[in-house]
Structure 1
Amino acid sequence: MDAVDGKMTDLEQLEIELLLEGVYRRYGYDFRQYAYASLRRRIWHRIHGERLKTVSELQSKALHDRSCMERLVSDLVIHVTEMFRDPGMFAAFRKQVVPMLRSLPSVRIWHAGCSTGEEVYSMAILLQEEGLYERATLYATDVNENVLQRAEQAVFPLKKMKAYTKNYILAGGKDEFSKYYTAGSDAAAFQPSLKERIVFAQHNLVTDRSFNEFHVIFCRNVLIYFDPVLQAHVHDLIYESLSGSGILVLGDKETITFTKHASSYEVLNPHEKIYGKIN
């Protein structure tokens, strides 16, 4: 029995390897080096969600049905986010970028891959405190419709508020963080006013084109999931979408150093990955 189970496990692992190889070759998403146990769990979640029975059936559907592929990728991409995540970046943004934005009659900011919205609400709070929110429009996009719906609700677990408050203080917050939300029994609902200048929309960085010209683009911890070809494609999209002297903010493990656009940016803050497009 153990030998049979072993062969079935080997077969399943082979199927998963073929699925990941197919997704990589067909779409450019590279999950081949991800931790196997976590991948297996997420893949089976998608198999059940598609009402299929085997990994091979999922492979066939994902390779022929782009919407299925997007659902699979959404399951495989880990949505790790929190309010004022990497508070040093927000502190640097206040100090270095906000003064640049003050000279603009209106400000357009794009949060690409916004997940459940914590980053965009953090920016809304920062802009309110800096007196810029009323002339700003924040575009929050993600490939996953489910996380976008959660983002629009602006409701987050109450148990996270302690950590979020600490981040807010380290990010240079100017008020009491608790003023921005109403606490329930187990959830915190953020002020409706924080949503007034936010536009939520589905957007796929891989397949969709630029939809506006932005003064600031946040694309943090998104590119790490893409292979080099797709990373280059997204960098082209970002460059095309930035205004003449626009600001790009990447995640702490991402860089423009090895892209063809590297010479088109000046490094405003190397530690916090804040770059200015050279006009």
Structure 2
Amino acid sequence: MIDMLEAGERENIEIDLLLQAVYRVSGFDFRKYMRSSILRRIQHRMNIDKIQTISGLQEKVLHEKDYVEKLLNDFSINVTEMFRDPEFFYSFRKNVIPHLRNLSEIRIWHAGCSTGEEAFSMAILLQEEGLYDKAKIYATDMNEKVLRKAEKGILPLSRMQSYTKNYLQSGGLQAFSEYYTADYENAYVLPKILGNIIFAQHNLAIDRSFNEFHVIICRNVMIYFTAELQNSVHELFFDSLSKGGFLGLGSKETLSNSPYAENYQIFDIAGKIYRKK
């Protein structure tokens, strides 16, 4: 019977079993991530370790201590940069900030923060607008390795020219170099910028709400999720947003197909910012 399976069907069975093994061993659930994205990362790991089949990966997950950590790092999406998509931060500065000024405390959740660049960017923006002292930024990711890096505020010096350009296009008010020190290899975000950022592990696929927020930002993360998982995450965000709170999505993401769309008003379509009714 096995020999009668099409190659694609056999591959899907192997992926199902691998992701089930990863979940049982680690507690991290990738079963509702887009298969095309997961498959690319599986093939990458197979090429590195010269493993012939996906079932061979599953065997290593089940029988080799700490091997699952390699796959968790492979599966985690860690693409980010300072002031990524500057038009989002420009819109946030001009349109959202005025609604936050009268709050006694500002709670912002950066979900899927990776190595922290967007959280650092928000901290700088709030500092320039005179609001950072009363703000708390909760930056979460499922990957502990990238969180430990984010806590240190270390950025590659080679990226700072690109980051400076993004900062200026986002409406930055100072010289970007005022927010970091540097050596021959790295830039280091100043302690005053890191001070009100709380980094913590949180898995959007399985974990629930942990606070009420005035702003939730989750940009270019849900494009890797199935529609079912996207809807689950939108439920989480809706439950976590205060009345009148703001939701920021990525340039390729939308609320239009979500069952929660009617509970938001489009605040800025270009910046992909929505406001909870």
Alignment TM class, shorter chain as reference: 0.7 to 0.9
Residue matched to 2:258: 259
* SS of corresponding position for 2:35: coil
Aligned mates of 1:260, 1:68 — CA distance in 2: 38
Q: 1:87 to 1:59 in 2, by over 3 A?
A: same
Residue matched to 1:216: 215
Question: How large is the Cα RMSD of the aligned pairs?
Answer: 2.9
- 1:28 and 2:23 aligned: no
Q: 1:210 to 1:43 in 2, by over 3 A?
A: farther
Aligned mates of 2:248, 2:32 — CA distance in 1: 22
Q: 1:213 to 1:53 in 2, by over 3 A?
A: same
Instruction: Judge which range, 262-271 or 17-26, deviates more.
Output: 17-26
Residue matched to 1:241: 240
Q: Which runs of 4+ in 1 moved over 2 A?
A: 13-39, 42-45, 52-55, 57-64, 67-74
Q: 1:61 to 1:208 in 2, by over 3 A?
A: farther
On the 8 A contact 2:109/2:217 being kept in 1, the answer is yes
Unaligned runs of 5+ in 1: 1-9
Structure 2 matches for 1:139-150, cutoff 5 A?
Answer: 139-150=138-149
* SS of corresponding position for 1:28: coil
- The one-letter amino acid of 2:15's match is L
Q: 1:208 to 1:169 in 2, by over 3 A?
A: same
Q: 1:19 to 1:240 in 2, by over 3 A?
A: same
Q: Return the match for 1:41 from 30, 44, 69.
A: 44
Aligned mates of 1:151, 1:27 — CA distance in 2: 23
- The one-letter amino acid of 1:244's match is K
- The one-letter amino acid of 2:180's match is Y
Residue matched to 1:168: 167
Residue matched to 1:92: 91
- Following TM superposition, by how much is the alpha carbon of 1:34 offset from its aligned partner in structure 2, in angstroms? 3.8
Aligned mates of 1:274, 1:59 — CA distance in 2: 40
Aligned mates of 1:28, 1:109 — CA distance in 2: 28
* SS of corresponding position for 1:201: strand
* SS of corresponding position for 2:102: coil
- The one-letter amino acid of 1:155's match is I
* SS of corresponding position for 2:258: coil
- The one-letter amino acid of 2:151's match is E
Aligned mates of 2:78, 2:209 — CA distance in 1: 23
- Following TM superposition, by how much is the alpha carbon of 1:74 offset from its aligned partner in structure 2, in angstroms? 3.8
Aligned mates of 1:78, 1:262 — CA distance in 2: 26
TM-score, normalised relative to structure 1: 0.85
Give aligned pairs, total. Answer: 263
Structure 2 matches for 1:218-233, cutoff 5 A?
Answer: 218-233=217-232
Q: 1:210 to 1:159 in 2, by over 3 A?
A: same
Residue matched to 2:26: none
On the 8 A contact 2:110/2:138 being kept in 1, the answer is yes
TM-score, normalised relative to structure 2: 0.85
Structure 2 matches for 1:56-67, cutoff 5 A?
Answer: 56-59=55-58
Aligned mates of 1:124, 1:207 — CA distance in 2: 28
On the 8 A contact 2:77/2:114 being kept in 1, the answer is no
* SS of corresponding position for 1:33: helix
* SS of corresponding position for 1:84: coil
On the 8 A contact 1:20/1:31 being kept in 2, the answer is no
Q: 1:188 to 1:245 in 2, by over 3 A?
A: same
Aligned mates of 2:143, 2:18 — CA distance in 1: 17
Residue matched to 1:101: 100
Residue matched to 1:124: 123
Residue matched to 2:3: none
Q: 1:61 to 1:109 in 2, by over 3 A?
A: farther
Aligned mates of 1:55, 1:260 — CA distance in 2: 35
- Following TM superposition, by how much is the alpha carbon of 1:77 offset from its aligned partner in structure 2, in angstroms? 3.7
Instruction: Judge which range, 72-81 or 108-117, deviates more.
Output: 72-81
On the 8 A contact 2:249/2:272 being kept in 1, the answer is yes
Q: 1:236 to 1:38 in 2, by over 3 A?
A: closer
- Following TM superposition, by how much is the alpha carbon of 1:173 offset from its aligned partner in structure 2, in angstroms? 0.2
> What is the CA deviation profile of residues 98-155 of structure 1, one whole-angstrom value per residue up to 9, with x for unaligned ones?
0000010000000000000000000000000000000000000000000000100101
Aligned mates of 1:41, 1:157 — CA distance in 2: 24
